[in-house]
Every structure is written in C-alpha cells, then in structure tokens.
Structure 1
Amino acid sequence: MTLPPPRDVARWLWTWRQIILLGILTCGAYGLVLYGFGIIAGPIQEDEGWSSAAVNAAFMGSYLLGAAASLVSGRVLDALGPRPVLWTGLIVGTVFLMAASYSENIWLFIVFWTIGGAVTIAGLFYNVTMPIAARLFPKRQTAAMTVLVTTGGFSSVIFMPLTGLFTDEFGWRWAVRILLVVAAAISLPAVLSVRRLPPIPPPEPSAAPVIGSQAGRHGFGGVQDALRSREVQIMLAMVIASSFGLGAMLNHFVPASTAAGMSITAAGALTGLRGLLSIPGRALIGPMASRLGLRPALGVGYAVILLGTLALLAAGPIYWIYLSAIIAGLVWGQTMPLQGLIASDVFGLRRLGTLMALQTAMGNVALAIGPFAAGVLLGLVDDNYQPVLVAIAGVNALTLALLLLMVRTHRQPLKQLAASLLASRTAPQKRKSGAP
C-alpha cells in the first residue's frame, strides 16, 4: 500500500477544510454535553451530596429543551445562514455551562446546565452541521457527511478520557471549565470560516410536490407541504423508533451485560471499545452508500443493530456480549449520518435546516424517553432483562419495517414520473401514425 503524494493530501484537506472544521466543532460540542456528563455525574453526586435523579434531571432537561430550541435554530439557519446559529450556540452555551460549574445550589445547577446544554445542542450538534455540510456540497453530500461524522466521531474517544483525567486531578468543577475552554477553542475556526451558504433557486410553480410524494428538485415549498408527504411521515416515525431503541440500549447495555454475568469493569471497557469502533464504522458510510445506495445501506445497519440486540438477549456465554458490543460500535455510528443523508434527499435543500431540526427534535425526545421506558418495564418484570431486550428488539424490527415501507413509498413517485415521461414521448408518435 502506497501513501498518496503530499500534494494530493494537501488538495484533499483544502477541499474539505470547512467540513473538517465543522467536524471538529461538533466533536467539541458533543464532548462535554453528551459524553462528558456521564463521567462527571458520579463525582458531582459524591462531592455535592446531590441525588442521582436531580443531577440527571439536568441532562434530560438539556435534551428536551434542546429538542424545542432546535426548531428555532433550524428556521434561523434556513433564513439567515449559519453564523447566527453557530455564534449563539458557542457563546451562550459556553456561558451557561460555565455558570453551572460555579453553582452551589442544585436548582441553579439544573437551570444553568439545562439552558447551556440546550443551546449547545440546538446550535452546534449534527442537526445544524449536517444541513450546513449538505448546502456547502450539494452534489457531494455523501462524501461531505462521511468527512463530517468521521471527524466528529473522535468526540467520545478524546473527551471521555480527558473528562476522567481532569476530574480525577482537579475535581468536576475545574474539569468542566477546562473542557469548555478546549471546546470553544477548537470550535472557533469553524464559526469564523463558515460565513454563508450557496443560494438555493426559488421554487418553480410546476414543481409543487404532490401529497404523499417526494419533494421537488430543490425541496418542499414549506414545512406544511413536507409534513403532508407520506414519505416524510414514515421517515419521521422511523427516526423516532430508531432513537427510542438506541437510547434504551445505550443506557441499559452495561446493566444488561452485568446481569448476564459480565463484571462491571469489563462491561465499562466494552462501552469504550464501542465508541472506538464507531470511527471505522463511520468511515465506511461512503463506500456502503456508493455500493448499496443510501436506503439499502441504512437497512443493513438497522438489521445488524437488531442482530446485536438479539446477541445480547442470547448472552449466557460471554462472547455473545462481546459480539453485541462490536456490532453496536461498527453500526450505531453509521445510522444517524445515513438518516441525515436520506433526510437531505427526502426534504431537499430549501427547508433542510428546519425539517432536519424537526427530525432531530423528535429523535431527541425519543432518545430521552427510551431509557426511562426500559427502566419502567424492568421494574414491572422484577429486574429481569430478558423481556426488556425482547422489547428493544421489537422496536429495532419496527424501525427496519418502517424503512422498508419508506423505500416502497419512495419508489412510487419515481414510477409515476417514468410513466409520464414515457407517455409524453409516445404521444407525438401516436398522433403522427394516425395522420392521413
């Protein structure tokens, strides 16, 4: 294997510089708000004497409020471009999260973390950076998304050990402050470089989408038009089901593994392996999408996720748990980017920010409810994880079924278009053959 010439590497880096910077920004945004919080939650409870429920209320609150705030940031992104959204997410999010690190009162901590996390989620997460990447490279969206999510995929690998290191050395408060400075520093280049997006042509009068069909060439004329589309409705239901199952499995993987006989140390190590494996998994998005197509590639991902849940369900022998973790690591990192690419194809570019924000908001709510629902079911079945895993597998199967239904819906307008084109070509020939 020969390495590419330095000139080709430099050309590649220059071509994708904005997407790489957006990936680094996303890496910093997810680092503390998502991955780091799980590390500092325990030390916060020990140092401050706050209950687990109260501390985790800040995390859940940030995601639920972030889901609502994403609807606003999506509209602003479509109307005014990326800079107001990125600047607000960076400055306001950092200020409120920093205030949370100084809070001595649990209620102030919950309020500050909820607001700071929500603004960060709405302004700097993939629901913003994915539409920006799609708009910057409308004809190379798969490649752009692959670069974006592969770069952003280093977030857990970098920030989880850093959070643990800083917390052990300086305590959770200074760990949060240091990580906020690091995240702001690595996010600033993207905020400064991504100034405006290429314009989208106005909607053509004849390109209004038919109810139940796809968008026009550049997208739906309005959000209501999109929500009347059957394909959009099915896709949103699919994302909700996918996020619900993902949230349930993410939060219950370790206790389900320990219930099957694995030590908590080994189960915790497997979660780190899962995060590490997500990076090569994301790098496979481009080749899989090119070879199989977007929807079949996502279908493979959903099917493999179902297989991973069934592997954990079959765990008696420990190797089934390892198989489940490896599958999860390789595939879970692919599903969200592929969902984003399909969303760009279904929504079109004109209202992409708003509609992807709506999709993300629904997904985040389901992601927050999934672990809670699994916990309720676990209590009802006397802490037996077998029925819980069966339920999660059922949600995985429902997600795959919704994707298949969406594929069928997607093909119908294409068949209608092909039939109309064929009719328009054959009509003049019929008139000519019928002429005297």
Structure 2
Amino acid sequence: MSLSSTQSRLTILVWALGTTQVIGYGTLYYAFGILAAPMAHDLDWPQEWVFGVFSAALLLGGLAAPLAGRQMDRLGAGRVMVVGSLLSALALACAAMAPGRVGFVFSIVAIELAATLVLYDAAFAALAQAAGSAAKQRITQLTLIGGFASTAFWPLTALLLEHLTWREIFLAFALLHLGICAPLHLLLARSLDWRKASALALAGGSAPATHHAGSLSPAARPRAFLWMAAGFSCGGFVLSAVLMHVVPMLATLGLGAAAALVGSLFGPAQVVARLVNMLFGGRLAATWLAVLSTALLPCGLALLLVSAPALPGALAFALLFGMGSGLISIVRGTVPLMLFGTADYGARLGRLTAIRVVTTAAAPFALAVLLARLGPAWALSGLVLIGLAGVVALIALARLSASAAPQPRLTPATSG
C-alpha cells in the first residue's frame, strides 16, 4: 500500500470516527443534562436521584473499561465499536420503553456500559492501532471534530424537547446509532486490518510507522501512572460535575435566559483550543499541555465565582472552561501514548478510565446535592480546590517525565 493511500485511509478514519463521536457524546452524555428534568417528572423522582442513577451508571461503565480495553487490543477497536453501537441503540430504546423506575435504572446503566465501547477511549485505541506513533496528530484531529458534540446536541435536544417527550427523543437517538454509527464502525472494521495497519501507517507523515515504546523507563512508570491517574481524576471530576449542570447552574447564579447562550460557547471554545494546539502546540510536551488544560478549569470557575451574575465574566468562564475541556480530551489519549507507548494501549487506557471514573462518577450527583443544599458559591469553591489538586498532580507528572527520560525511544514495528 502506498504512503498516500495510507494517509487517505487515516484521514477517512478520522472523519468517520469524528462523526460517531459527535453522535456518541451528544446522545449518550450531553443530552442527559437537558433531559434529566422531564425524566424526573415522568418517574416522579427528585432530580438529584435521576443524576444519581446517571452517576452510578458512569461508575459501572468505568469499571468495565479495563475489560473493554483488553478486547480492543485483542480483537481490534473497530470490531468492538460495532458491537458498542448496536448495544447503544438497544439500550437507548430500552430506556425509552422502560415502564418504571427499575427498568429505567437498568437501561441507563446499559447505556453507559455501551458508551465505554464507542466513545473517545475506543476511538483513541483505533487510531493507535491504525497510525502507530503518528496517532498523536490523528487524536488531535479527532477531538477537533468531536468538540462539536455539545454545540450540536445541547440545542438540538432542547429543540426536540419542545415537540417530543424524552422517551421519543431516546428512540430517535437509538436510530442514529443504528443507522449511522454502526454502519460506519462496520465499514472501518472491515476496511482496516487492525493488527497490520500500524506497519502501513506513517510516522510524522514521512516514514513507515513505528511502535512507540514510550519515553519512561520501567522504574518510573508506576509513579507516573499514579500521578497521571490522580491528575486526570481531579480534572474529570470537575468536568463531569459542571458539564451536567452548566445551564441550570448558570441560571441559579442570576444569568437567567443568558445561561443557554453562555453554555453554547463551550463547544466552540473546545474546537478553538484544539485547533490552536494542532497548529502551534507541536513543541509543547503532552504532559505540560495536560497541566495547562487542567489549570484552565479552576481558573474559569474562580472567575465565574467572583464575577457572577455579570455576563462578561460568565462568557470568559465559558471560554476558559471550554478550552480546558477541549485540551483535556486530547491529553487523555496523548499522554499515555507518549509516556508508555503503543503496546497494550487499549488496556492501559481502560485501567486509567476505571480509576478516573471511580472518582468522578459521583460528580453530577454531588454537585446537584451541593447546589440544592449549600448554593452555587460553596459548590463552585469546592470544585476550584479539586481542580487545583489535579494541577499539582500533573505538574509532578511532568517533572517526573522530564527527569526520567528526556528523549522518547522508538522501536521498529512488527507485523504480529
């Protein structure tokens, strides 16, 4: 296969995965914050308990991530994503037809278990298998496309809710997974031999692909993994809490109808940050990009805390927080690749996701309780402190990475 043909295949792969990520995140994650209120009304539950179900489902999905990652390494991420798309459609349909609370709970859990098989971790594994050491650039391109998920599905879900029930919306989302995501994943799985694709891809766009061995020595890897897991967990907690509550939280701060406008800036801010990183961030180590991205979260929240209900402060918060969120999506895939290499990449991402989700799954429920009991000021202050703890952990990771092995090592690819 020629180098130009390989590049074309990888470009098609990125665009196809980008489409499925927009649909996946939009339907399996972002829409829940808009639909929680009608769900609670329909089920005659306090809204906090609906978010509690969602948090528990996120936790169980995260605990399943290591197993999912091992299957991606063994079978190929493309094939696993086909199964995940079919399960996502089935789970959404089951939730739409759930007769009561018990069926609803099991269906939401099924949705988040299926999400483990189709969202970023699975897509990153597919790119690592297809592009080898060139996957960092492709991951950045993928997240650039995926950043439109919230921009598209927050207003789309709100618009649909004016004409449909939440159950009918879930049925429509199921059709998206069945009619668009599953066929795309099936075509990708069939068109690429995942076990041999890395031998045909490009490294840096000019040479045959290599298996990246990682920049860390074996002795430094256990400590690095702990710092990485701690930093990503703190950042993930803040993100998970805010993204599920951003519009109602802004409304409680006195922004009223402007809350939706502020929330709509998250997606564009994510895309802008990823685009700037893709164009100018090549010289910044992935570990220090992780520090920067996580630091933007507490900075944005602190600015919102001291400026609310002023609209300019809220807009600045949306830009900072959205940029941090956009960059975090990149470093979740590139930092493990840089430090530990491509070997067992899917399984490592799965373990990292399990640790992160165990600590972040309760975030939507915790913030819902804090907002209801203590108000937004105390809730935001707590999130700022958690975000700063994540920054400290990632600074320790960056320093360890720089001292342990300043130069990455590459080993020739094999065809196994």
Superposed pair shares fold, TM > 0.5: yes
Question: Unpaired segments of 5 or more residues in structure 1?
Answer: 1-8, 202-215, 419-436
Q: CA deviation at 1:53?
A: 4.1
Residue 197 of structure 1 pairs with residue 194 of structure 2: yes
TM-score (norm 2): 0.83
Contact kept, 8 Å, 1:281 with 1:333, in 2: the verdict is: yes
Q: Deviations over 1:31-89 (max 9, x none)?
A: 21111222222223334544424433442232112112212110111122124411221
SS in 1 for 2:84: helix
SS in 2 for 1:62: helix
Contact kept, 8 Å, 2:56 with 2:362, in 1: the verdict is: no
RCO higher in structure (CA 8 A, sep ≥6): 2
Q: CA deviation at 1:328?
A: 1.4
Alpha-carbon spacing, 1:109–1:361, altered in 2? closer, same or farther (3 Å): same
Contact kept, 8 Å, 1:166 with 1:174, in 2: the verdict is: no
Alpha-carbon spacing, 1:270–1:122, altered in 2? closer, same or farther (3 Å): same
What is aligned with 1:269? Answer: 261
Contact kept, 8 Å, 1:71 with 1:357, in 2: the verdict is: yes
SS in 2 for 1:241: helix
Q: CA deviation at 1:287?
A: 2.5
SS in 2 for 1:350: coil
Contact kept, 8 Å, 1:27 with 1:154, in 2: the verdict is: yes
What is aligned with 2:273? Answer: 281
Structure 2 residue identity aligned to 1:197: W
Q: 1:369 aligns with which of 362, 367, 376?
A: 362
Alpha-carbon spacing, 1:226–1:266, altered in 2? closer, same or farther (3 Å): farther
Q: 1:412 aligns with which of 381, 386, 403?
A: 403
Contact kept, 8 Å, 2:22 with 2:145, in 1: the verdict is: yes
What is aligned with 1:104? Answer: 99
Structure showing greater radius of gyration is 1
Structure 2 residue identity aligned to 1:179: F
What is aligned with 1:59? Answer: 54
SS in 1 for 2:213: coil
TM-score (norm 1): 0.80
What is aligned with 2:288? Answer: 296
Q: 2:14 aligns with which of 19, 31, 35?
A: 19
CA distance in 2, matches of 1:22, 1:417: 28
Q: Matched residues, percent identical?
A: 24
Q: CA deviation at 1:253?
A: 4.1
What is aligned with 2:202? Answer: none
Structure 1 residue identity aligned to 2:336: A
Q: CA deviation at 1:219?
A: 5.8
Q: 2:390 aligns with which of 384, 389, 399?
A: 399
Residue 128 of structure 1 pairs with residue 122 of structure 2: yes
CA distance in 1, matches of 2:342, 2:408: 21
CA distance in 2, matches of 1:226, 1:159: 44
CA distance in 1, matches of 2:145, 2:5: 17
Q: CA deviation at 1:350?
A: 1.2
Moved more, 34-43 or 233-242: 34-43
Moved more, 405-414 or 78-87: 78-87
- 1:20-419 map, 5 Å: 20-115=15-110, 117-187=111-181, 188-195=183-190, 196-199=193-196, 218=213, 229-251=222-244, 253-254=246-247, 256-263=249-256, 265-316=257-308, 317-375=310-368, 383-414=374-405
CA distance in 1, matches of 2:127, 2:177: 20
Structure 1 residue identity aligned to 2:225: V
Contact kept, 8 Å, 2:63 with 2:358, in 1: the verdict is: no
What is aligned with 1:432? Answer: none
Contact kept, 8 Å, 1:163 with 1:179, in 2: the verdict is: no
SS in 1 for 2:254: coil
CA distance in 2, matches of 1:255, 1:166: 18
Structure 2 residue identity aligned to 1:239: F
Q: Deviations over 1:120-149 (max 9, x none)?
A: 222101111112112211232232012211
CA distance in 1, matches of 2:275, 2:403: 32
Contact kept, 8 Å, 1:128 with 1:357, in 2: the verdict is: no
Q: CA deviation at 1:239?
A: 0.8
What is aligned with 1:421? Answer: none
SS in 1 for 2:177: helix
SS in 1 for 2:391: helix
